Amino acid sequence: MSQSNNPRFWASQWYTTKFATEPWPGGWYWHDEHYNWFGPYESEHAAGDALTEHETSERDALDASDHVPSQFELYYHPLSPYSQKVLIAAYEKGAHFTPKIVNLMSTDEREKYRKLYPMGKLPLIVLNHGPLIPESSTIIEYLDSLDGRRLISKDPDVARKTRFKDRFFDFYLTDSANVLFAEGAKPPSRQDTVKIEAAQYRIRAVYDFIEYELREQTWANGEEFSMADCAAAAGFFYAARIMPYDDHPNVAAYAHRLSDRPSVKRVREEAAPYMQAYLDRIKQSRETA
Ligand SMILES: N[C@@H](CCC(=O)N[C@@H](CS)C(=O)NCC(=O)O)C(=O)O
């Protein structure tokens, strides 16, 4: 049950470990599914017994209810496009997860989150038996191994195209829209015009590319909604506000289909109050500047 090498990072849940001195008095500790630590215990055995007792009581409580057990914890923020991409996939798959919203703008929350995942990037999932899975596409690969409709085809040729388009939307639509959004929030004198022009060029190139691709297909990779569409929907959340596509009728129709998709609708409805609060904050800071 014990782990010796950086256990917090690699196995973050339901285990005991020994802290020699830091951050708490030496001894054995265990933590629960909410990262509450308990200890110190004199021995690994004593900590293990306390953990087993906790697990048993949790299981009994679950058995006594009709609660569907959570398959993992999802660390995310409703306004983070990569989080939205994973949320869309999770809703498509009908996954049961425990949501953990992290506000990376808060120094305290950011520091706490970096203890769990040092890269500090959202989204991240933590499986019930411990392992962390970071990176939106890797998370969706994992989700696709669970029950539910497939987001990455079993056909290797189709799967390769889905993976290409997923990366294509991430790198050239989402990342470019992020640049434009971040630069747009700065006062004009501090905006980086080289970065802005490069991002605008890339988004236009994405629109041109998919305008052609979408001339006779419903979704990014054909007739089946896939991981590529999760990535596209997340990218359009910001890109649509910054770089309209009215002169690309197939892109406009595709963006409309995405907005109508129940999983995408749900994610955007959940993000709406956070977006409003963000826009209000920007407006207020401009008024007081
Ligand atoms: N390649 C990563 C990108 C994740 C990413 O950039 N996440 C943003 C939020 S959308 C983030 O955590 N930013 C905080 C930071 O860069 O410190 C993925 O696909 O998950």
In CATH, what number is assigned to the domain containing residue 250? Answer: 1.20.1050.10
CA 245 remoteness from chain centre:
26
Q: Is 48 inside a domain boundary? A: yes
CB atoms within 10 A of CB 34: 9
Calculate mean pLDDT across residues 107-123. Answer: 96
| Claim to verify: residue 214 and residue 194 sit in the same structural domain | yes
The string of pLDDT tens digits covering residues 221-275 is: 999 999 999 999 999 999 999 999 999 999 999 999 999 999 999 999 999 999 9
In short, whether 104's Cβ falls inside 6 Å of ligand 1 is yes
In short, whether 78's Cβ falls inside 6 Å of ligand 1 is no
In short, whether 135's Cβ falls inside 6 Å of ligand 1 is yes
Question: Which of 77, 79, 82 to probe ligand 1 with, by most ligand atoms within 8 A of CB?
Answer: 82
Distance between Cα 175 and ligand 1 center (Å): 9
Give the pLDDT score at 3: 37
Q: Is 32 inside a domain boundary? A: yes
Distance between Cα 24 and ligand 1 center (Å): 31
Burial of 223 (0-12, 13-18, 19+ CB in 10 A): exposed
Q: Is 92 inside a domain boundary? A: yes
Confidence of residue 70 (pLDDT cuts 50, 70, 90): confident
> Is there a contact between 117 and 35 (Cβ–Cβ < 8 Å)?
no
Distance between Cα 123 and ligand 1 center (Å): 7
| Claim to verify: residue 76 and residue 58 sit in the same structural domain | no
Least confident of 11-25, 58-72, 104-118, 239-253: 11-25
| Claim to verify: residue 53 and residue 127 sit in the same structural domain | no
Distance between Cα 27 and ligand 1 center (Å): 36
Across the chain, mean pLDDT equals: 88
Token pair for residue 37?
Answer: 């630590």
Confidence of residue 34 (pLDDT cuts 50, 70, 90): low
Q: Which residue from 66, 26, 51 is spatially nearest to 130, judged by alpha carbons?
A: 51
* DSSP-derived 3-state class of residue 235: helix
Give the pLDDT score at 21: 61
> Is there a contact between 30 and 145 (Cβ–Cβ < 8 Å)?
no
CATH of the domain at 82: 3.40.30.10
Size of the chain, expressed as the number of residues it contains: 289
Q: Is 167 inside a domain boundary? A: yes
Give the pLDDT score at 10: 32
> Closest ligand 1 atom, CA of 80?
10
Atom 10 in ligand 1: residue holding the nearest Cα:
80
**Between residues 70 and 117, which one has the greater pLDDT?**
117
Peptide bond into 23 cis (omega under 30): yes
Give the pLDDT score at 259: 97
Percent of the chain exceeding pLDDT 90 equals: 67
Q: Residue 135 has what DSSP assignment?
A: S
> Which domain range does residue 123 map to?
72-144
Q: Which residue from 97, 149, 158, 155 is spatially nearest to 123, judged by alpha carbons?
A: 97
Burial of 273 (0-12, 13-18, 19+ CB in 10 A): exposed
Token pair for residue 227?
Answer: 């991981």
Judge whether residue 151 has pLDDT over 90.
yes
Q: Is 252 inside a domain boundary? A: yes
Question: Which of 121, 170, 274, 275 to probe ligand 1 with, by most ligand atoms within 8 A of CB?
Answer: 121
Q: Is 151 inside a domain boundary? A: no
- Among candidate residues 144, 171, 204, the one where a domain is terminated: 144
Give the pLDDT score at 32: 73
Within 8 A by CB and 6+ apart from 257, the residues are 218, 219
- Among candidate residues 144, 165, 189, the one where a domain is terminated: 144
Within 8 A by CB and 6+ apart from 188, the residues are none
| Claim to verify: residue 138 and residue 28 sit in the same structural domain | no
Distance between Cα 248 and ligand 1 center (Å): 29
Q: Which residues is 27 bridged to in the sheet?
A: 19
| Claim to verify: residue 119 and residue 12 sit in the same structural domain | no
Distance between Cα 222 and ligand 1 center (Å): 28
Residue 244's identity, in one-letter code, is P
Confidence of residue 5 (pLDDT cuts 50, 70, 90): very low
| Claim to verify: residue 125 and residue 12 sit in the same structural domain | no
> Is there a contact between 133 and 127 (Cβ–Cβ < 8 Å)?
yes
- Among candidate residues 114, 144, 174, the one where a domain is terminated: 144
> Is there a contact between 72 and 128 (Cβ–Cβ < 8 Å)?
yes
In short, whether 275's Cβ falls inside 6 Å of ligand 1 is no
Q: Which residues is 31 bridged to in the sheet?
A: 37
Distance between Cα 84 and ligand 1 center (Å): 11
Calculate mean pLDDT across residues 210-223. Answer: 96
Token pair for residue 140?
Answer: 């969706």
In short, whether 46's Cβ falls inside 6 Å of ligand 1 is no
Q: Is 106 inside a domain boundary? A: yes
Distance between Cα 55 and ligand 1 center (Å): 33
| Claim to verify: residue 189 and residue 118 sit in the same structural domain | no
Q: Is 17 inside a domain boundary? A: yes
| Claim to verify: residue 206 and residue 88 sit in the same structural domain | no
Calculate mean pLDDT across residues 128-147. Answer: 93
| Claim to verify: residue 171 and residue 136 sit in the same structural domain | no
Calculate mean pLDDT across residues 69-75. Answer: 92
Percent of the chain exceeding pLDDT 70 equals: 89
Token pair for residue 61?
Answer: 């409580």
- The number of folded domains in the chain is 3
| Claim to verify: residue 220 and residue 116 sit in the same structural domain | no
Alpha-carbon gap, residue 135 to 157, rounded angstroms: 23
Give the pLDDT score at 124: 97
| Claim to verify: residue 115 and residue 53 sit in the same structural domain | no
| Claim to verify: residue 38 and residue 134 sit in the same structural domain | no
Token pair for residue 6?
Answer: 């950086």
